[in-house]
Amino acid sequence: KLASKINSLGGSHSGRPPVIFNPDFFVEKLRHENPEVFLELVLSNITRLIDLPGTEFSQLLGEESPKTPTGGNGGFFRSFNFLKRKDKGVVFGTPLTESCIAQIYQLIEYLSKNLHVEGLFRVPGNSIRQQGLRELLNSGADVDLESGDFHPNDVATLLKTFLGELPEPLLTHRHFHAHLKIADITLFDEHGNKTATPNKERQIEALQLLFLLLPQANRSLLKLLLDLLYHTAKQQDKNKMSTFNLALMFAPHVLWPRHMTASDLKDNLKKLNNSMAFLIKHSQKLFRGLCQTAFHWNKGSADQGKMQMT
């Protein structure tokens, strides 16, 4: 597991009082003050856990356009046309921003109070009410979802619609192959032979690292979404929505490359659905671990900014 404390970033090496420990603060501090070192550290630890061939490694860095699992471009890149849209205040069908999330959070907050509703996320809402709610959100309005004008199924369906209309999946195109490799991390037996048993601890560690490479807005929404789905599944005795049911519905929005069909993804479909279920099931560990993921100065080299993960 990665170290959960930072030895000297708080300033103790220079005689200043230490800063109250906050791993997220130090991770973000490094990200902004020394992005090259930050990226090098994260990537070196990701490649310690998974094997990424040159092309896939370049894709992770954004140096090469991602390819579809079938090797063709097809509709995979059509969604990038949306990146040119700059409709002020529009939430749906535009690149993800923190202001978009502020609007969508209204849906998430409301749903978190209605997790008992049977068929939540499965039963479609009323299309007319959804259109009205969509227009309100696009206008930047604060919506009174407690007024009774909307049903939880309207809100749940619209949240899925929002995710489905993002220009790329929440976990991004460039990370697609890394997620497939993480799903293949398994335990070894006493003779050093690979088994079919997933190595959950290393999978969680790899995901924590990969999350650090996500854009901030994607990371923020991912945490909110997985937390909502985790607590939805916790109430499956009432809502009849298991972790795997939810994974089937959300994997296309979170993991699948855009405009790819189940047929296109047939060789990876089971793996992607299982990966989504894993994200939901372990979301509390993933994000608690992400807060604990930290960097520390190499002894004697803090002034040079040389850092490492352990």
Q: Where are the domains of the chain?
A: 24-308
Flag residues of the chain having pLDDT under 70: 1-25, 63-89, 289-310
**pLDDT tens sequence across 225-244:** 999 999 999 999 999 999 99
Predicted local confidence at residue 140, as pLDDT? 92
**pLDDT tens sequence across 10-62:** 344 444 544 444 556 677 778 788 888 888 888 888 989 998 888 888 888 77
SS (H, E, C) the chain: CCCCCCCCCCCHHHCCCCCCCCHHHHHHHHHHHCHHHHHHHHHHHHHHHCCCCHHHHHHHHCCCCCCCCCCCCHHHHHHHHHHHCCCCCCCCCCCCCHHHHHHHHHHHHHHHCCCCCCCCCCCCCCHHHHHHHHHHHHCCCCCCHHHCCCCHHHHHHHHHHHHHCCCCCCCCCCCHHHHHHHHCCEEECCCCCEEEEECHHHHHHHHHHHHHCCCHHHHHHHHHHHHHHHHHHHCHHHHCCCHHHHHHHHHHHHCCCCCCCCCCCCCCHHHHHHHHHHHHHCHHHHHHHHHHCCCEECCCCHHHCCEECC
Predicted local confidence at residue 174, as pLDDT? 92
Name the CATH superfamily, with its identifier, for domain 24-308: Rho GTPase activation protein (1.10.555.10)
Predicted local confidence at residue 37, as pLDDT? 86
Predicted local confidence at residue 12, as pLDDT? 41
Predicted local confidence at residue 23, as pLDDT? 53
